[in-house]
């Protein structure tokens, strides 16, 4: 096999760092971002660590957003992006495959080269993997490399994932047909309506794959979670103290978050957007963005447009072409869909909202917008990365979950943490109506209740900053992990 190309080989020839750790995400942006932020934090945190960030590649890679994110700024020394040998997707993927099946099939194919990649890298002292890369456990046991799982969703969802094998064993029919919510030991029950799509049909291949990967979690030497102690105290306590999780046994848990995207490169439309925001009052703009893969149906997009206009609130709306079949239709081509909002927005909408709102096509610099003082709310799909970004920047949320575990996140954010509001769909309706959209937007942006929620989220913002600062809970957790790696590799 040809020598793997890395971006910084020349920097490592004279002085080889003492400790080498490899990091392996799957190919979704929502998984690449937190793992890349972890990789950056590790090399900045401890200059004696060298990270190889392994990138799964396919012959149809067209994720403009991924490449822009990874390569737009200079990488820190001691962090190499290593391309795995590309795989031919057309041989293994069918058009009718659901999103998780597609990810898992591509990852499994890519892992066939993992052993030779790790040997060529000189056998790193540890490998940190994404939750759908558990095929690495077997490969690494042959090489005597300890494997750590990086769990990119919430800790609450981790408790559900660890509970799935028990649920699978104890429940005969479908989980959605159970008479009452699912009770996870030591945690809040999960409403059946909020269950993720992947577990709603146990005969489907998606369920089998989800079950397979989650059932392997106890094989990890440790589990890193993208959270912090004060944000999810209940599920963290359950995992550490409840007899159910202790008996699994659950590996040691390391809360190392919030790990969020720090900076993004700016396009000219981003610059225009931020210039417009500079002229708006503090906390006055609602930001609407549904994640790297999220899309609305045609009917829902029309209701959203008129609801925003009715609310008379200022907004920035990142808009994608509607898709009536798939709420995650842009997952695999983030940032590269081409569309003309005039062709699908209701007639007159852009004229009526001129000066009040700003429509941005496909993609916007989310971090810069959430960080901006004029942003006062975020209508979000409640993906975990977006949730952490919103809270870290002190912005309350209107929960609009679409797929994956987003409904469970939305329930937690609204009912337990109290940093979000959720629009209500009229029973029997397929869309949330414009009057309801207008109501929740006004509630968040200009009511007393909205102010209380905003106050709560700003307290959590401060707690997130303390967690990652020197001496904070996540800082200390990462310290312990690095110490463990060094001890295991026999370093002084």
CATH (domain of 291): 3.40.50.2000
C-alpha dihedral, 141 to 116 to 210 to 257, nearest 10°: 80
- pLDDT tens, N- to C-terminus, the chain (492 residues): 333 444 444 444 445 547 999 999 998 888 999 999 999 999 999 889 999 999 999 887 556 778 888 887 788 889 999 999 999 988 899 988 888 899 999 999 999 999 999 999 999 999 999 999 999 999 999 999 999 999 999 999 999 999 999 999 999 999 999 999 999 999 999 999 999 999 999 999 999 999 999 999 999 999 999 999 999 999 999 999 999 999 999 999 999 999 999 877 788 888 999 999 999 999 999 999 998 778 899 999 999 999 999 999 999 999 988 988 866 555 544 554 557 888 889 999 999 999 999 999 877 889 999 999 999 999 999 999 999 999 999 999 999 999 889 999 999 999 999 999 999 999 999 999 999 999 999 999 999 999 999 999 999 999 999 999 999 999 999 999 999 999 987 765
Helix (H, G, I), strand (E, B) or coil at 376: strand
- Amino acid 81: pLDDT: 94
Q: Assess contact for 147 and 137: CB atoms under 8 A.
A: yes
- On whether both 448 and 478 belong to a single domain, the answer is no
| 3 assigned to some structural domain | no
| 270 assigned to some structural domain | no
Catalytic, 20? Answer no
| 82 assigned to some structural domain | yes
- Amino acid 491: pLDDT: 65
- On whether both 159 and 37 belong to a single domain, the answer is yes
Q: Assess contact for 164 and 215: CB atoms under 8 A.
A: yes
| 220 assigned to some structural domain | yes
CA-CA-CA-CA torsion sign (443, 447, 452, 457): positive
Domain range for 451 is: 275-465
- Catalytically annotated residue among 130, 194, 197, 283: 130
- On whether both 435 and 476 belong to a single domain, the answer is no
- Amino acid 198: pLDDT: 93
- On whether both 202 and 346 belong to a single domain, the answer is no
| 269 assigned to some structural domain | no
- On whether both 296 and 325 belong to a single domain, the answer is yes
Residues 6+ apart with CB under 8 A from 329: 293, 295, 323
Residue 97: count of CB within 10 angstroms of its CB: 16
- Amino acid 14: pLDDT: 42
Count structural domains, the chain: 2
- On whether both 459 and 474 belong to a single domain, the answer is no
- On whether both 441 and 473 belong to a single domain, the answer is no
User: pTM value?
Assistant: 0.92
Residues 6+ apart with CB under 8 A from 460: 230, 231, 391, 394, 417, 419
Catalytic, 130? Answer yes
- Amino acid 415: pLDDT: 96
- On whether both 70 and 115 belong to a single domain, the answer is yes
| 4 assigned to some structural domain | no
- On whether both 297 and 208 belong to a single domain, the answer is no
- Catalytically annotated residue among 31, 50, 381, 393: 31
- Amino acid 9: pLDDT: 46
- Amino acid 342: pLDDT: 86
- On whether both 85 and 67 belong to a single domain, the answer is yes
Of 167, 150, 172, the C-alpha closest to 257 is 150
- On whether both 335 and 383 belong to a single domain, the answer is yes
Backbone angles phi, psi at 280, to 5 degrees: -105, 150
d(CA 394, CA 140): 40
| 144 assigned to some structural domain | yes
Read off the DSSP letter of residue 453.
H
| 113 assigned to some structural domain | yes
Write the burial class of residue 448 (CB in 10 Å: 0-12 exposed, 13-18 middle, 19+ buried): exposed
- On whether both 54 and 189 belong to a single domain, the answer is yes
Question: Beta partners for 319?
Answer: 361
């Amino acid at each position: 096999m040809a020598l793997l190309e890395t971006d910084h080989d020349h920097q490592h020839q004279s002085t080889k760092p003492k400790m080498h750790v490899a990091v392996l995400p799957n190919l979704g942006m929502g998984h690449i971002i937190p793992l890349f932020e972890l990789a950056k934090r590790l090399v900045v945190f401890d200059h004696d660590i060298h990270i190889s960030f392994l990138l799964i590649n396919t012959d149809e890679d067209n994720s403009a957003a991924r490449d822009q994110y990874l390569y737009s700024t200079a990488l820190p020394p001691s962090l190499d992006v290593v391309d795995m040998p590309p795989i031919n997707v057309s041989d293994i993927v069918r058009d009718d495959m659901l999103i998780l099946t597609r990810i898992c099939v591509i990852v499994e194919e890519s892992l066939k080269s993992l052993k030779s990649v790790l040997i060529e890298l000189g056998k790193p002292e540890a490998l940190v993997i994404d939750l759908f890369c558990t095929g690495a456990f077997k490969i690494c046991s042959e090489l005597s490399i300890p494997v750590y799982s990086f769990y990119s969703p919430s800790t609450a969802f981790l408790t559900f994932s660890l509970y799935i094998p028990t649920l699978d064993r104890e429940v005969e029919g479908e989980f959605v047909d159970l008479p009452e919510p699912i009770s996870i030991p030591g945690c809040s029950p999960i409403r059946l309506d909020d269950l993720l799509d992947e577990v709603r049909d146990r005969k489907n291949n998606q369920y089998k794959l989800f079950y397979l990967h989650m059932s392997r979690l106890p094989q990890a030497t440790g589990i890193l979670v993208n959270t912090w102690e004060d944000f999810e105290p209940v599920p963290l306590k359950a995992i550490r103290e409840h007899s159910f999780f202790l008996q699994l046994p659950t590996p040691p848990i390391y809360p190392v978050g919030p790990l969020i995207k720090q900076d993004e490169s700016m396009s000219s439309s981003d610059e225009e957007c931020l210039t417009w925001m500079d002229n708006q009052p503090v906390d006055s703009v609602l930001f609407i963005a549904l994640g790297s893969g999220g899309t609305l149906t045609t009917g829902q997009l029309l209701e959203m447009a008129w609801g925003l206009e009715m609310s008379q609130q200022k907004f920035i709306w990142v808009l994608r072409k509607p898709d009536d079949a798939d709420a995650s239709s842009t997952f695999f081509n983030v940032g590269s869909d081409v569309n003309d909002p005039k062709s699908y927005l209701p007639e007159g909408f852009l004229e009526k909202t001129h000066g009040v709102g700003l429509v941005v096509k496909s993609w916007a610099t989310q971090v810069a917008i959430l960080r901006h003082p004029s942003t006062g709310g975020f209508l979000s799909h409640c993906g975990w990365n977006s949730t952490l970004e919103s809270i870290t920047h002190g912005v309350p949320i209107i929960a609009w979950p679409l797929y994956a575990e987003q409904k469970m996140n939305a329930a937690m954010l609204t009912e337990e943490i109290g940093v979000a509001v959720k629009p209500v769909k009229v029973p029997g309706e397929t869309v949330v109506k414009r009057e309801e959209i207008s109501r929740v937007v006004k509630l968040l942006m200009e009511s007393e209740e909205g102010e209380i929620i905003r106050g709560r989220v700003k307290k959590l913002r401060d707690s997130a900053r303390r967690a990652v600062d020197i001496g904070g809970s996540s800082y200390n957790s990462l310290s312990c992990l690095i110490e463990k790696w060094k001890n295991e590799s026999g370093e002084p």
